[in-house]
């Protein structure tokens, strides 16, 4: 989930918001301002209901952020690299670049999330009791009590033993510790996640059809998210297992066709697609033979037809600092995430600043297909 608005860093962790977070803020505010607050404490103005509802929804999102921050901080303390946190419509997501090194680390990273929500719920509950003892407005007490209840509910739901929930991570840690097989443990946790997801989808739609409860749509949406995420997590685990310890040199295309930086667009096009330039992406070399960038047919197409005789490849190419690079002995898994987030889905392989190959996502996918076939043929 890519962030739309960056909030900077909190406790050293990059934090951002996705635009869809506005959906949950609006829905929570609407539910409170038009439902719970007027029902429990009638007689207040609409402005009072809405102001408190919006404030409560913002505090709720802050509690979600605290939940994810706890994951990120503990992950870093256990040697796991953290890219950042993004809050979105269905909550938050801490992006972990690497896996937990041991079942114990997995247990600590997963367990701290629900624990944080329980603590937050307890703090809000205590605050609600204290405010009530001070005879503060019942409407304010209601808002704080709702925050206590929703955090406890969040902790309980997240503790369910189904990936990608925190409880699924706890289940994986247990299975990993018991079997010693990380992949087998992941399969068990993700299977539980898909089962829970389908249960929520079926019961959600049943609530809509037979009880005319639109809240069932929300349960179905969360269920669909669980199914999709658990399935993706299972595939990712399979990929990590297949490509574990595979170096970049084994999947790269060696000695790729290159394009001189000084060549014009007209010269480049005259040599393709049936001449020297039969591909869609090429490394670009300077006169001294050093690699300076990457050119694609899409980038070349930006040059107006009337300027192709004078526009050079150097003017259109993606400069080297903007292109993912890797060493030939670097693990493919370390490069994969950089490739997936790059604009051209290509990486240049350099050995002591000398171009030795190029890697695309298609190269990795092809290698993965062969490895999967070979593994299947032995079983």
In sequence order, which residues have a C-beta less than 8 Å from that of residue 135 and are 6 or more positions away? none
Told to judge if 233 belongs to the known catalytic residues of this protein, a careful annotator would answer no
> Looking at 68, 106, 142, 233, which residue is catalytic?
68
Measured at the alpha carbon of residue 56, what is the angle toward residues 121 and 9, in degrees to the nearest 5? Answer: 80
SS3 286: coil
Is 365 in contact with 261 (CB distance < 8 Å)? no
State the distance between the two ends of the chain, measured CA to CA, in whole angstroms.
Answer: 36
Beta-sheet strands, E only, within the chain: 5-10, 13-17, 82-88, 91-96, 253-254, 259-260, 281-285, 291-296, 318-319, 325-326, 346-351, 354-360
Encoding tokens for residue 305? Answer: 């037809």
Sign of torsion over alpha carbons 315, 316, 319, 322: positive
State the Cα–Cα distance between residues 66 and 102, nearest whole angstrom.
24
Encoding tokens for residue 202? Answer: 């079926």
| CA 250 to the chain's CA centroid | 28
* Of residues 294, 311, 310, 271, the one with CA closest to residue 346: 294
Q: What is the DSSP letter of 331?
A: B
Q: What is the DSSP letter of 247?
A: B
* Of residues 83, 68, 77, 78, the one with CA closest to residue 104: 78
State the Cα–Cα distance between residues 371 and 231, nearest whole angstrom.
20
> Active-site residue numbers?
68
């Amino acid at each position: 989930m890519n962030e739309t608005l960056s909030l900077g860093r909190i406790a050293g962790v990059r934090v951002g918001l996705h635009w869809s977070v506005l959906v949950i803020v609006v829905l929570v505010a609407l539910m409170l301002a038009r439902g719970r607050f007027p029902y429990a404490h009638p007689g207040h103005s609409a402005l009072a209901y809405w102001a408190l509802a919006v404030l409560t929804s913002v505090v709720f999102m802050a509690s979600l952020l605290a939940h994810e921050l706890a994951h990120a901080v503990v992950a870093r303390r256990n040697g796991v690299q953290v890219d950042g946190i993004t809050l979105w419509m269905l909550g938050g997501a801490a992006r972990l670049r690497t896996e937990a090194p041991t079942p114990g680390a997995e247990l600590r990273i997963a367990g701290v999330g629900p624990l944080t929500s329980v603590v937050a719920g307890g703090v809000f509950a205590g605050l609600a009791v204290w405010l009530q003892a001070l005879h503060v407005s019942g409407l304010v007490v209601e808002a704080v009590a709702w925050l206590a209840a929703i955090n406890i509910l969040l902790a309980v739901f997240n503790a369910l033993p189904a990936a990608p929930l925190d409880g699924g991570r706890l289940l994986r840690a247990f299975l990993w510790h018991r079997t010693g097989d990380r992949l087998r443990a992941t399969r068990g946790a993700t299977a539980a996640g898909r089962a829970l997801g389908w249960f929520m989808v079926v019961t959600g739609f049943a609530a809509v059809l037979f009880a005319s409860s639109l809240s069932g749509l929300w349960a179905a949406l969360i269920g669909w998210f669980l199914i999709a995420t658990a399935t993706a997590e299972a595939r990712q685990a399979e990929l990590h297992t297949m490509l574990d310890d595979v170096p970049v040199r084994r999947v790269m295309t060696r000695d790729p066709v290159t394009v001189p930086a000084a060549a014009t667009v007209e010269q480049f096009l005259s040599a393709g697609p049936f001449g020297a330039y039969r591909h869609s992406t090429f490394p670009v070399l300077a006169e001294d033979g050093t690699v300076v960038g990457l050119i694609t047919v899409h980038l070349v197409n930006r040059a107006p037809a009337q300027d192709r005789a004078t526009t050079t490849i150097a003017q259109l190419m993606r400069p080297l600092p903007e292109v993912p690079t890797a060493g030939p002995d670097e693990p493919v898994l370390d490069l994969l995430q950089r490739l997936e987030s790059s604009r051209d889905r290509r990486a240049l392989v350099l050995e002591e600043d000398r171009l030795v190959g190029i890697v695309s996502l298609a190269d990795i996918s092809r290698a993965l297909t062969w490895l999967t076939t070979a593994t299947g043929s032995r079983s």
